[in-house]
Amino acid sequence: MHDDPEEDEPSPGSENPWQSVDPGGNGWLIFACVHPGSGHLFFSSDMGSSLYRSTDRGETWEPIANPVTGTPSYIAGDPGEAATLYMSQVGASPRSSGIWKSSDNGNTWQHLFQSEAFGKSSSQSGLVDPFRPQVLYWTMADRGVWRSTDGGISWNDISHGLPRERLEYCEIHSHGLELDHNTPPAARTLYYPTNLGLYRFREVEGTWELAGGLPVGVCTQVIACDRGVLYAAFPGQGLYKSEDGGQTWQQLTNGLRGFAPLHIAATKSQPQVLYVATTRDRGVYRSVDGGGSFHLITQRRFTQGHNWPMNYRQHEAVSGMFMLIDPHDPLTVYLDYNKKTHDGGRTWQHYGTKHVGNDRWTGTGLSLLTEYRAVFDPHQPGRVWLGFSDTGLMLTEDGGVSIVNVYSSHRSEVNHVAHLRDQLVFSSSSCVSIAVDPDLTTTIYASINGKNADCRAAIGGALIKSVNGGQNWFPIHEKHGLADGIIRDIVIAPDSPLDERTVYVASYGNGVYQSNDDGRSFNRVTPAELFAGNTRLMCLKIAPSDPNTLYLGVGGSEGIRPLSAGQQGYPALAAGQYGGVYKTSDRGVTWQKQNSRRELPSIVDLAVHPTDPQTVYAAAWEERFLVPGDSPHPEWREGGIFKTTDGGNTWNKVFSPPNDELKGCGSVEGICLNPLAPEIIYTAVRHHGVFRSFDGGKTWAQVGQGSMDRRQKRFHSICLDPHAPYTVWLAHFGASFSKGIDPEAKALLEQKYGQANLVRNPGFEELERSGSPLHWQVHQPPASSGRAPVFSISTERARSGKRCAHFHLSQAYIGLPTTIPAFREQQRLEQAGKVERDPSWQKVMAELGGQSTSTWLSQKLDPYFTSLMRGRDVLLEMDVYLLQRNLPGFWERWYDMCEVPRLPPQVYLTEVRDFNVHWPVAETSLEDLEEECSLSAEGMLGQWLHCQATGRVSEGARWTQVTITGIGPYAGVTDLYVDNVRLTLA
């Protein structure tokens, strides 16, 4: 049964949300907090511009990011109003920074206070006075504390007494403000844990001072409970408790085994139940007697028989990055980004991800992973390879419903190369690039590398390859000639031999490498002097209509990770070391820069027109460092999308990122073209969302803005599902993937192809540079010396248009080696002495005079066309002009012809359901006319004849192919023409 995961998916319109695709959880956070009134959870990815909410204790999550783009640093809930939230945000522009308020649990936001003082911080905090909801307190980016007495509209500094110049944030998600609600509203006491100790603020005194009776040193957290009970965590000194409102303190040690506390959690109403997360991930402890004794409720490392479930990363230790407790239920605790307990730690369960069986995982909406790109299997709908920064290479086989971690499932094999390159897959790894073989989709190449490129410019990386669909992998690295470096792109030449594929890789910091033996060895094909010192390779694309032509994009001083630290994190680029677009028209033998008339200094992505190799779109970031302010070419600083229609000689800007007063200036972070309607272009723009053009870049409009505004608007790439090229996939770079249907594009494609001929170049009018028909693969014997090839394109006799296909088998070809792969392999093995010669085979060849010549054309249909045909009847047609037809005197069945008992000329449609076995769907040849029209062989000569047949494509078809057999094996001299091949929905 064919299961199309796209059919029932919502579209990215203003009313229907984009759909998340990720295994769930397992990323880093800027903050995590629980509403003190409602108990609802609010998390924000460490990559910024995201916000997630759960109203069912972590079972499900939804994105509620502020449509006015920014990075939320903390959310404080009003204890007396379950739907009231206050958020500090670092806006994409200064106008959107400051304090925001929501009165409907985050559905909408109101800007209360504009200021950049509330900067991004992993330890920022705020709170609302439970009895005076107009009074708010907040820590500022300068490590001071401010107060508002009018509900966040205005703020005053109350940092007197704090040594702000010496305060440091030592731990993430620590140093949060705490209000002692037991103190009178008019004389509140605040606590502020810092790296210098626990500071206390009494409003009546208006100054901060170190709390007495406690050690001086790092204090990560303090909790104020009912009846004057307080707890304070000092990782270097221990856990302390006060039962008299902070007047005196005692150290708690019984049961903690000497481990230091990092985070603590307790409800205000039941302080006797206390949780302690220890430093260095040594486990979580629980006390039910107010700290009198503790017992371990997790473990330090995974043990199969214990209560700690393993997730898809398969190395799950207990982490105390943060710990939250339900304010109304002391048995419910949330730990880190993916574990929770509802029974006080007796059992734990995932809440960011769910195991759905057979190593498959699905997300619950909490999308925290960082990702690079999605690459689709052209044969199997729903099978998508996903490249992540945190978890490496992952795979979905059902369109994103469930996901398996490829690296962790076969970790031992991948770790071989990981150990060679600084143990890249020990805890995290990156998969920046992926390539699936266009014919044998069980062959996959992927990159593996580290991810923190701000610590070394030449960070390690290599390739891994699988030839069995991802079940097993082997590494390709220095010993194969491939330099150490991040592989930004992988390209497989579609016309290269299956067993000797030509593979190109763009290695960041090195250059382009080429393999002509299916990845067994590589050689660098770009000379060092080509780049003038700038080898920050970002993308490599092959022209779909001309495998000889490749385009290379080189970045500037900023760009997408790993190129994201600007001049601070990398060796500075000198003047003249601009990036740009480079091109080869001879499969990598020679290269040249294609933007010599104007610089495009910071390329991040390229898209090549599917049928015109001269038309290319380049996505570029703004270049702030390499182009000085007094440059005579200020336009070189501009980012956007640039287009060339002459192979790169001239470039015109077709898209300028929007610059909004609130959302800030956008940056183009990805671009893609619709493969069937290349006038449809998509681009992902940071801070703003997805833009689409229906006219080749002349005009643009946003797609799905209403729902995208609630998601993270920071991207790495954008692409289309080839099986449903109206389905847009986004890599959010910090919030996993999103996909959604563009309904306008879907309607356009259905209108364009619903009644159209699904065969590309059916009249052979479009030619490659070599003279071969575009979109058709030619299978024919090698030409004899001085003779024309068996197949050619003719302009002498055409049914319509200017050209048609000409099949002419002359006497010179008789006796040439066969073109049938099975026979060729048999002959090769016999000649090599690896198998014994087959007497029966030799007898057949002798009787036939040794001739085994055949010539045919094939065209693999676009995946979208196969999607249109599944479960439907089709009509297959062709026109034939016959001058001479000599057929063998026996009946044939050949594997390469789908075992169809027909004689050429013939056209047939086949489908592949599994294992690349072709099954016939429809076939027609001149034999039909002999039977149906009573035409004799002589009566067919010298005129155009029309052949047609109908068939039905099965629901289980993975991919389909049209084949024209012009010359069959052992045929005699033959001369015929074929034109107007058609395949339409019946």
pLDDT digits 0-9 by tens, 665-724: 999 999 999 999 999 999 999 999 999 999 999 999 999 999 999 999 999 999 999 999
* Distinct helix (H) and strand (E) counts, the chain: 9, 70
Largest Cα separation within the chain, whole Å, is 114
Q: Is the previous residue joined to 658 through a cis bond, with omega within 30 degrees of 0?
A: no
What tokens does 427 get? Answer: 């805890």
Q: What is the DSSP letter of 40?
A: -
Look at residue 562 in the predicted model and tell me its pLDDT: 59
Q: How far apart are CA 771 and CA 524, in angstroms?
A: 29
Look at residue 418 in the predicted model and tell me its pLDDT: 42
What tokens does 356 get? Answer: 């759905």
Q: How far apart are CA 646 and CA 145, in angstroms?
A: 59
CB 954 within 8 A of CB 773: no
Nearest to 642 by CA among 686, 681, 592: 681
CB 167 within 8 A of CB 195: yes
Residue predicted with more confidence, 14 or 170: 170
What confidence tens digit (pLDDT) does each residue in 494-513 have? 999 988 999 999 998 899 99
Among 551-555, 946-950, 965-969, which stretch is predicted with the lowest mean pLDDT?
A: 965-969
CB 870 within 8 A of CB 954: yes
Q: What is the DSSP annotation of 177-225?
A: -EEETTS-GGG-EEEEEETTEEEEEETTTTEEEEPTTS-SS---EEEE-
| Residue 430: band (very low, low, confident or very high) from pLDDT cuts 50, 70, 90 | confident
Backbone torsion region of residue 21, taken as left when φ is above 0, otherwise alpha when ψ lies between -120 and 50, otherwise beta: beta
pLDDT above 70 covers what percent of the chain?
87
Q: How far apart are CA 727 and CA 724, in angstroms?
A: 6
Q: How far apart are CA 451 and CA 460, in angstroms?
A: 9
Look at residue 899 in the predicted model and tell me its pLDDT: 45
- Order of strands, sheet of 221-224, starting from the edge strand that comes earlier in the sequence: 221-224, 230-234, 238-242, 250-252
| Residue 5: band (very low, low, confident or very high) from pLDDT cuts 50, 70, 90 | very low
Identify the H or E element spanning 88.
Answer: strand 85-91
From the centroid of its chain, how far is CA 285? 38
CB 950 within 8 A of CB 986: yes
Angle at alpha carbon of residue 694, lines to 689 and 696, rounded to 5°: 100
CB 552 within 8 A of CB 527: no
Using the structure block, give the residue that is written with the tokens 């810092």. 194
User: What residues pair up with 826 in beta bridges, in sequence order?
Assistant: none
Q: What is the pTM of this model?
A: 0.91
Q: What phi and psi values does residue 227 have, to the nearest 5 degrees?
A: 60, 30
Please return the burial class of 152, using the count of CB atoms within 10 Å of its CB with bins 0-12, 13-18 and 19+.
Answer: buried
Q: How far apart are CA 760 and CA 763, in angstroms?
A: 9
| Residue 280: band (very low, low, confident or very high) from pLDDT cuts 50, 70, 90 | confident
Among 17-31, 869-883, 894-908, which stretch is predicted with the lowest mean pLDDT?
A: 894-908
Look at residue 620 in the predicted model and tell me its pLDDT: 96
Q: How far apart are CA 318 and CA 300, in angstroms?
A: 6
| Residue 895: band (very low, low, confident or very high) from pLDDT cuts 50, 70, 90 | very low
User: What residues pair up with 553 in beta bridges, in sequence order?
Assistant: 539, 581
Q: What phi and psi values does residue 599 have, to the nearest 5 degrees?
A: -80, 140
Q: How far apart are CA 886 and CA 630, in angstroms?
A: 76
pLDDT above 90 covers what percent of the chain?
66
What tokens does 761 get? Answer: 């170049």
**CA distance from start to end of the chain:** 22
> Kind of pairing, strands 178-180 and 189-194?
antiparallel
Look at residue 317 in the predicted model and tell me its pLDDT: 65
| Residue 183: band (very low, low, confident or very high) from pLDDT cuts 50, 70, 90 | very high
Nearest to 614 by CA among 583, 593, 591: 583
Q: How far apart are CA 171 and CA 281, in angstroms?
A: 13
List Cα–Cα distances, 610 to 85, 458, 544, 760, in angstroms: 49, 34, 5, 12
Using the structure block, give the residue that is written with the tokens 């037809």. 885
What confidence tens digit (pLDDT) does each residue in 58-83 have? 999 999 999 999 999 999 999 999 99
Task: Report the SS3 class of residue 467.
Answer: coil
Using the structure block, give the residue that is written with the tokens 């192919």. 961
Asked if pLDDT for residue 409 goes beyond 50, the answer is no
Task: Report the SS3 class of residue 126.
Answer: strand
**How many C-beta neighbours within 10 Å does residue 941 have?**
16
Q: Is the dihedral of CA 754, 759, 764, 770 positive or negative?
A: positive
Asked if pLDDT for residue 761 goes beyond 50, the answer is yes
Q: How far apart are CA 369 and CA 338, in angstroms?
A: 12
Q: Is the dihedral of CA 655, 656, 660, 663 positive or negative?
A: positive
